[in-house]
A and B are shown apart, each in its own frame.
Chain A
Amino acid sequence: MPETQTDVYTAIEEAAKQLYIEALKTIPPDVQAALKRARERETHAGAQDILDIILKNIAISAERDMLVCQDTGTVVYWLEVGQDAPFNLAQVAQRIRVGTQRATTEHPLRPNAVHTVTRQNTFTNTGRHLPVMHYDFVPGDGLKMTCVPKGSGSENQSFLHMFTPAQGIKAVKEFALQCVVQAGANPCPPTIMGVGLGGTSDLVMSLAKKAIFRPLDVRSDDPIIRDLEAELLEAANSLGIGPMGLGGDTTVLAVNIEHADTHITQNPVAVNFQCWAARRRSATFSASGEVQFGF
C-alpha cells in the first residue's frame, strides 16, 4: 500500500499501463459467457464456424499471453470519482496519459493516434485530447478507472439523430434498427449496441459510449428502458446479419441503453457499436491508495 500521495499517483500510472495492456489480452467474463451462449443458440452453420473461431481466438490469446485483436484502439477512460475521494484529478489524468504512453512503447502496442489532418502518428497512443476521458461523480471516497481501448471498426459505426417529440419513441426504435443494418458487417458483429437517449447532442453520444461498456449481465435500472433494451435486442437479431455480417442469428449480444432527461422540444438518440472483442479493464483505488483490479 502506497504510503504517500506521490506513491498513489505512481500506482495510478502503473495501473493505467497495466489496464491498457490487460484489456487488450482478456475478454471480460460476461462477454465470453454471452459469446458461448450465442454459439449454443446459433443455427447457421457458417455463423457457428465464425463463433468457434472467435472462442478459439480468445483461448489462444489467454494461453499465449497475446493480444486478442491487432487494433489497440483509441484509449477511452471512464472515471467514477467518489465525492469524498482525496485525489487530484488533474494529476490522475496526467498519470493515465503517461501510463498509456508507457504501455504503448514498452510492450510495444500498435500506435494508432495521428494528427487528424496531417495524419502524423504520435507513436504513443496519446495526443491532443487523447486519451479520451469522461468523469462521473458518485457517492463514496474511492476512484474507479475503466480503460476501454475502442477499436475503429466499431467506432466508425457511430450515429446521432435529433428527432422531434412528435416523432416519438417509434422513430427512435426505427433509427436504432436502421443503424444495425447500415453498420452491417463493419463493426465486427456480434456487437454490443450502445444506445444513448435524451440529453443534448454531446451528452447523448457520450451516453451511447458509456452504454457499450456496461457489463452484459446488468440491465437498465429503469423498467421502461429495460423493456426497450429487450425489444431492440430481439428485433436486431431477427435482421439476420450474423457474425461478421455473413448471415446468422447472432448480430447483437446485448442492447445497452443509457438515458438522460432532455428538453421539451427534443428527442435525441445516439448509437455506438462495440465489436465482439469488447475490451475493458478497471482498477478501483480506495482513499488510502489500495487498488483492486476488475472489469
Chain B
Amino acid sequence: MSAKDTAQERATAATSDELRLTFPLTDLDALRALHVGQKVRLDGHIIGIRDATQIRIFDRGVQPPLDLTGAALIHTAPGVRKLADGSYEKVCIGTTTSTRMNRFTQGLLRDYGVRAIIGKAGLLPDSIPYLKEFGGCYFAITGGAAALETTQIEAIEEVYWEDLMPECLWKFRVRDFGPLTVAMDSHGKSLYEDVQERAQARLRELTARL
C-alpha cells in the first residue's frame, strides 16, 4: 500500500461524532471517560497479538520483548511478504475472534498495563471486572473487513518472536484507524451481553411457540 491509499481512506474518514485517541496512552486512566456505543479512531501504534503469542507470555512465562504500558492490542495474525532486507510488507492485516483469548485479559491489564483490546466478537463477561478495575476498554472492529483495515495501517514497524509466524508480536503504525465501536467499557457495560440477553429472551418466546 502506498501513502496515497491511506490518504484516500482519510478523505472519507473521521466524522464529528468519532473520538480520536493516540496510543500508547500517556494517561492510563484516559479510557475511563469512554462509554459503550461511542465510536473511536486511533493514531499512533497498536500491537498485534494472538493465541500463540499469549500462550508464550502467560503459560510459558516469557516476558514480552516490548513495553505494553498504555498499549492498544489488536487480535491479529497478518498475511505478510518478507522483503530482501528482512523487513515485512503487509499483504492483508485483519482481526480475529477475541473470545478465544479471553483468559489473558486479567494478566494483560494487571501485569503489563494494557488498556485497550481491539478485536471482533468481544471478551466474555468474566473480563468485565478487569476492565472496570484497570480502566480498560474493548474496541470492536468489523471482522472480515481486512482490506479496509490494511489500508489504515501505515507500516509494520517491528516484528518480535518471528518463530511464531504468523502469530508474532507485531508493532503497527496506524492513522485514522477505525471507526471502532466501544463495545465493552470500564463501567461494567458490554454490548455483547445486552444483545445476548435480548436474544435469549426472544429464543424462549420462539421455542414456546414451536
Contact = CB atoms under 8 A, between A and B. Distances in A.
A185 B122 contact: yes
- Residue of A50, A72, A107, A245 with highest tally of chain B CB at under 10 A: A245
Contacts of B68: none
B79 A72 contact: yes
Interface in B167-210: 179, 181, 183, 191-192, 194-196, 198-200, 202-203, 206-207, 210
Contacts of A57: 142, 144-148
Given A156-B97, A247-B191, A68 B146 contact: yes
A173 B210 CA distance: 8
A260 interface: no
A181 interface: yes
Question: Interface size for chain A: under 10, 10 to 19, 20 to 34, or 35 or more residues?
Answer: 35 or more
B79 A245 contact: no
Interface stretch (A93-101, A130-138, A235-243, A284-292): A235-243
Interface in A148-194: 151-153, 156, 170, 173-174, 177-178, 180-181, 184-186, 188
Given A54-B144, A245-B122, A66 B92 contact: yes
Nearest to B141: A244
Contact of B151 (A60, A119, A242): A60
Given A181-B196, A240-B199, A245-B192, A68 B91 contact: no
Which residue, of A56, A60, A72, A121, has the highest number of chain B Cβ atoms within 10 A? Answer: A60
A177 B191 contact: no
Contacts of B140: 244, 246
A109 interface: yes
Contacts of B80: 108, 110
B81 to A, nearest CB: 6
B78 interface: yes
A269 to B, nearest CB: 14
A275 interface: yes
Interface in B88-141: 91-97, 99-100, 120-122, 140
B143 A188 contact: yes
B158 interface: no
B148 A60 contact: yes
A249 B140 CA distance: 18
Contacts of A110: 77-80, 91-92, 166
A118 to B, nearest CB: 12
Give the residue among B81, B191, B200 with the most A Cβ atoms within 10 A: B191
B165 interface: yes
B5 interface: yes
Interface in A185-215: 185-186, 188
A266 interface: no
B156 interface: no
B196 to A, nearest CB: 6
B147 A185 contact: no
A230 interface: no
A69 interface: yes
A70 interface: yes
A72 B191 CA distance: 29
B159 interface: no
A121 B165 contact: yes
Given A185-B121, A240-B202, A246 B183 contact: yes
A82 interface: no
Interface of B: 5, 37, 52, 76-81, 91-97, 99-100, 120-122, 140, 142-148, 150-151, 165-166, 179, 181, 183, 191-192, 194-196, 198-200, 202-203, 206-207, 210
23 contacts: A57-B147, A61-B147, A67-B79, A67-B92, A68-B146, A68-B147, A69-B94, A70-B79, A70-B92, A71-B94, A108-B81, A110-B80, A111-B166, A152-B97, A153-B143, A185-B121, A185-B122, A238-B202, A239-B203, A243-B142, A244-B140, A245-B192, A246-B191
